[in-house]
Structure formats: C-alpha cells, structure tokens
Amino acid sequence: MKFEIKAIQENASTLLRRAGYTFQYEDHGEMSFVRPLASAGYPRFHLYAKISGIDLLISFHLDQKAHTYGEETRHHGEYENEGALKAEADHLKKFLTPIPPTDY
C-alpha cells in the first residue's frame, strides 16, 4: 500500500518513531521501519519512507511471518488496502498529517 503525507513539519524518523515504528536501515534515501504486532516479531508492519521535497512518501505492507526462502527476498506479506493494513494506513495518515494552524 502506498500513500503520501504532504508538507511534513518534523523529521520523518522522529514522526514514525512516535507512531510506534522502529528504524531498521536507510538505503539510497529510503528508510525502512517496522512495527511488530507480537512479541515474537511477527506479524509486523513493514514500512518504507522516502522524502520528496517536503512530502513523505510511504509504502508499507504486513509481514505475516519471516521469509522462508533462503537467500530470496520473497516473504509472506499482505499488500491489499483492507483489514489491518487499511486500519494502520488510516491511523498513520491521521497521526502524520500536520494540523493546520488555527486563527484566533
């Protein structure tokens, strides 16, 4: 699943950590984060974030379990816009979207 957060106002890593995600690594400007749903580490949300100007591009999926294919990169994941993945996307969008200033 992919979506974009326009005009973030804080450091992307800090925002995602506050949302419960743990930083894993950065590769060519793309940061990897995970948020386990169980103490064993799986299932977990696996998120990739990239800064584009002042916007944050997010691509994420739900890993059901660790990959079991040796050196291959395939794994047991969910990518559809439904269920737990959709609920997490809605949560992230609300959490990460900047609140516009109010006029008093």
Domain ranges within the chain, ordered by starting residue = 2-96
Cα separation of 11 and 49, whole Å?
A: 12
Average pLDDT over the chain, rounded to an integer: 86
Mean pLDDT computed over 44-68: 90
Q: Which sign does the torsion angle of CA 20, 40, 25, 3 carry? A: negative
Could you tell me which of 13, 65, 78 has the C-alpha nearest to residue 38?
65
Q: How far is CA 6 from CA 29, 31, 67, 93, in A?
A: 18, 17, 33, 10
pTM comes to 0.81
- Evaluate the omega torsion of the peptide bond into residue 43 and state whether it is cis, within 30 degrees of 0: yes
CA of residue 12 relative to chain centroid, distance? 11
Report the share of the chain in percent with pLDDT over 90.
59
- How confident is residue 52, by pLDDT bands cut at 50, 70 and 90? very high
Query: Token pair for residue 8?
Result: 């973030």
* DSSP calls for 6-34: -S--S-HHHHHHHTT-EEEEEETTEEEEE
